[in-house]
Amino acid sequence: MVFMMPWEGMFLFQSPESHCLYGVMKGVPALKRVVIIDVFGKLKLAKWRLMGDKIDVMYLTQLPDPEQIVSEAPGLILMHLNGSPKITFLFSQIREIAPYIPVITVVKNEDEQLIKYVFSKGAKAVLSLPLDLPKLSYICTKELAAFYERRHGQESEKEVSPPAEKGTLANLKGRYGPSSGELVFNQLDIGVVYIGLNGKIITANKAFKKMMDLENTEIEGYTLAELATIKASPFWNTLRDMAEDCLQKESGIKNMEISLRSAQGGTIYGKVAVKSVPAENGLQAGVLATIIPCDFLKASDADMARSEKLAVAGQLAAGAVHEIKNPLTSVRGFIQLLQQELSGNPKAEYIDIIIAEIDRVNNIVNEFLKLAKPAVPKRSSCSITALFEEIRVLMESEAFLKNVIIEENFCHLPSVNIDKEQIKQVLINIIQNSFDAMPQGGRLTIHAEPLKTEKKIKIQFNDTGCGMDKETQGRIFEPFFTTKEQGTGLGLAVSQQIIESHGGQIEIDSEPGVGTTTVIFLPY
């Protein structure tokens, strides 16, 4: 049956086979279509209201197949959830198949568990019965307009491949994927939220939502006060006050310390900063807030502390080089002369001990100088495989004496542009550390492979030594920190500096009683 509606250009017809009521407008694109799923007949007024707003409506009174809904390419889905497992499951299927299509749900106010669930699945809004029809009309119109702009903008900005057959999931997912800007925005580990002049959130990245325990929830369009009813947190009021203060004073607020309850029940500490965002006409457009977690701040503080230590070490080295190294050379020379005079004397053995200790101090001074004043790498093309062949000759005898078995597994490796002697020093230092960690013998496995996507060579050392606890691992690259009786505490600090000067990274992971894994990444 087909009949003319009171408003121009709208036809209404019903399909007995599918129990669907269609309100079809002439010339309206599918992206501006609303699918209403109303198994219990609670959304009839919503249907007529939206059709009165000249919105293309598809009204379903029986549970449909989720792919059938998606194939209609709607711009919005409105569902009534009464707690029925079947309808709730349908909702989750739709969100899984087509997360790009906004969904508005209607639930009972007292069903807090269901409300929390639909928000966790990314529902755009949750309304309650009886429906506030003007509010529903406003939300649907706004969401459809935003959805249409998003999709229309993507299609006009870039040339797309020939579309798949109409209604296929491959076509829909290809067209409605996130933009590159959204992908970059959501890769940030710092929480970012942009708030408009009306107090509503314009956009927020994944890190911010995760901090607020609203991951996978669309919070755009909500005021901070409304979000406080969804996820109780004193931070909403704090952020609102900061935003209002920022807009009034037209100046930013920096480094205010906050604490948030995490989803696991713990506490997240961080610092929040807000800044006024100007529009093109020079007036205020809104407020941008950023939250930096404390683990970022601690890492930054640790890097700064390490840099300060290295700077102090450099100053000490510059002043100490002539005061220590030159006298040591003189002392060693005179001791060697005295050794000749005492030849055959029982006390001559003390001379050997003195010379050995002088050499040890000299070694410390030399390592100290390498750390404080590192040499500029003299790079040339080098084969890592050939470099290990040279190192093997140097280390084989010590490995035999210490009962250490060395296994090598090298893939075909490209040449790298490195300072051969500096990198050799690093590799020997790591191998020597593994030997020292296995006084009773053991196994050292060395594996190297190219990471083609990252343009890096990965060199991994696994030993079966005594291992280290977490506290020791946290300090392993600190200058002068050592667990060895005869160690200088400078070997790994120098090694890290050399690797980083080559644009690479060095990482260490260890477990007491199991062993240590050291990984080096070098660009090629």
Give, in order, the Cα–Cα distances in Å from 483 to each of 60, 466, 467, 468. Answer: 72, 12, 12, 10
DSSP line for 371-424:
HHSPPPP--EEE-HHHHHHHHHHHHHHHHHHTTEEEEEEE-----EEE-HHHHH
Res. 75: pLDDT tops 50? yes
CB 34 within 8 A of CB 76: yes
Tokens of 500: 């980083």
More confident residue, 167 or 69: 69
* Alpha-carbon span 10 to 323, nearest angstrom: 95
Q: Which CATH number describes the domain made up of 179-293?
A: 3.30.450.20
pLDDT, tens only, 284-308:
778 888 887 765 444 445 455 555 5
Q: What is the mean pLDDT of residues 109-113?
A: 73
Res. 8: pLDDT tops 70? no
Burial of residue 12 (CB within 10 Å: 0-12, 13-18, 19+) is middle
Q: How many CB atoms are located within 10 Å of the residue 229 CB?
A: 10
pLDDT, tens only, 375-420:
667 888 999 999 998 888 888 888 888 899 999 998 888 999 998 8
DSSP state letter for 223:
B
pLDDT, tens only, 11-64:
333 333 334 444 444 444 445 788 898 888 888 888 888 888 888 888 888 888
Phi, psi (rounded to 5 degrees) for 384: -65, -35
Give, in order, the Cα–Cα distances in Å from 166 to each of 155, 162, 171, 451, 502. Answer: 16, 11, 7, 40, 53
Residue with tokens 């610092």: 271
Level-2 CATH architecture, domain 2-157: 3-Layer(aba) Sandwich (3.40)
CB 224 within 8 A of CB 199: yes
Q: What is the mean pLDDT of residues 325-333?
A: 76
DSSP state letter for 512:
T
CB 38 within 8 A of CB 44: yes
Give percent of the chain above pLDDT 70. Answer: 73
Give, in order, the Cα–Cα distances in Å from 335 to each of 323, 348, 375. Answer: 19, 11, 31
Structural domain spans, the chain: 2-157, 179-293, 298-372, 380-523
Residue 522 — pLDDT band, cuts 50, 70, 90? very high
Res. 120: pLDDT tops 50? yes
What is the average pLDDT value for the chain, to the nearest integer?
75
Residue 254 — pLDDT band, cuts 50, 70, 90? low
pLDDT, tens only, 413-468:
899 999 888 898 899 889 989 999 999 999 999 999 998 888 899 999 999 999 99
Q: Is the domain 380-523 a CATH 3.40.50.10540 member?
A: no
Question: What are the residues whose beta carbons fall under 8 Å from the beta carbon of 354, sequence distance 6 or more?
Answer: 335
* Alpha-carbon span 94 to 399, nearest angstrom: 62
Q: Whose CA is closest to 271, among 308, 251, 297, 248?
A: 297
Residue 362 — pLDDT band, cuts 50, 70, 90? confident
Res. 170: pLDDT tops 50? no
* Alpha-carbon span 94 to 78, nearest angstrom: 12
